[in-house]
Amino acid sequence: MAPGRQGWFAEGMNADEPADAPKTTSAGPGLNGHLETEPHGNDIAHRLNWLRAGVLGANDGIVSVAAIVVGVAGATAEVGPILTAGVAGVVGGAVSMALGEYVSVSSQSDSQRALIEKERRELAEEPEAELAELTAIYQAKGLTPETAARVARELTAHDVLAAHLSAELNIDEEDIVSPWHAAFASAIAFTIGAILPMLAILLPPPAIRVPLTFVSVLVALALTGALGAWIGGGSRMRAAVRVVIGGALALAATFVIGNLLGASGVV
């Protein structure tokens, strides 16, 4: 589920409030009339999630298409079959990635819309009970009962639906991902990743075709693995090594299988 805006509130409360009380992260009136202009952290996280998905899609394109063309190159040195298999892998992989992303994001979006409608209905039918629930949520975060009630009342007065969606469900009514956008982004990322193994296997002379493809693909996988880890805050070296080993195994396996099939006269 895509992260929604946090329903935090502004500094400037009573002096006896805890020092680590949450703060407003988007521009808007605070409890004492101040305007907060702190960066919207979840917007950044949302963009990073899209970037990470793009890196993973490109990584899939690199590995999938490279495995196909290397396998065919192990069976035959003719360009025609390699090109045909590579193009089929690019088209089929891009469509598959787009379809999978569309179905996944559509399910997520439908669930989010259903939760939003449920919350809207509950607010219309039981406003007092919902206000008490919002107060209890902020009290559970560590605020005093008086401060929690004050925060709940002011957020309710500002935008009651947004306040409850943020505090209860951590979603934003305007932050629902489009399945079409996700599908196109996934297909494009896969296709971009697939360009490298296609060029590496088709452009060089037959004698260095497969070795050059191995090297270029593994270097690209190391870069995408490190980039994905950097976006997610993980170890870049560990991620790069993990992806490179997996890609090398996939390429070696398909090349050996193609070589055996070619030697046996099947291809």
CB contact at 8 A, 27 and 36: yes
d(CA 251, CA 254): 5
CB contact at 8 A, 229 and 240: yes
Q: Give the pLDDT confidence score for residue 93 in this predicted structure.
A: 94
Burial class (CB in 10 A: 0-12, 13-18, 19+), 27: exposed
Number of neighbours of residue 231 by Cβ within 10 angstroms: 16
Taking only the tens place, the pLDDT of each residue in 65-112 is 999 999 999 888 899 999 999 999 999 999 999 998 899 888 888 888
Q: Give the pLDDT confidence score for residue 176 in this predicted structure.
A: 73
d(CA 138, CA 22): 10
CB contact at 8 A, 240 and 225: yes
Which residue type sits at 7?
Answer: G
CB contact at 8 A, 223 and 122: no
Taking only the tens place, the pLDDT of each residue in 188-227 is 999 999 999 999 999 999 889 999 999 999 999 999 888 8
Look-up of token digits 């406003």: 127
Taking only the tens place, the pLDDT of each residue in 255-265 is 999 888 876 65
Residues shown for the chain = 267
d(CA 264, CA 228): 41
Question: What is the secondary structure of the chain as a DSSP string?
Answer: ----------S---TTS-TT-----SSSB-TTSPBP----HHHHHHHHHHHHHHHHHHHHHHHHHHHHHHHHHHH---HHHHHHHHHHHHHHHHHHHHHHHHHHHHHHHHHHHHHHHHHHHHHHH-HHHHHHHHHHHHHHTT--HHHHHHHHHHHHHHHHHHHHIIIII---TT-PPPHHHHHHHHHHHHHHHHHHHHHHHHSS-HHHHHHHHHHHHHHHHHHHHHHHHHHHTS-HHHHHHHHHHHHHHHHHHHHHHHHHHHHTT--
Taking only the tens place, the pLDDT of each residue in 16-69 is 444 344 443 434 444 344 434 444 445 555 666 667 777 888 899 999 999 999
Bridge-partner residues for 29, per DSSP? 35
Task: Please report which confidence band the pLDDT of residue 241 belongs to, taking 50, 70 and 90 as the band edges.
Answer: very high
d(CA 223, CA 108): 30
Q: Give the pLDDT confidence score for residue 34 in this predicted structure.
A: 40
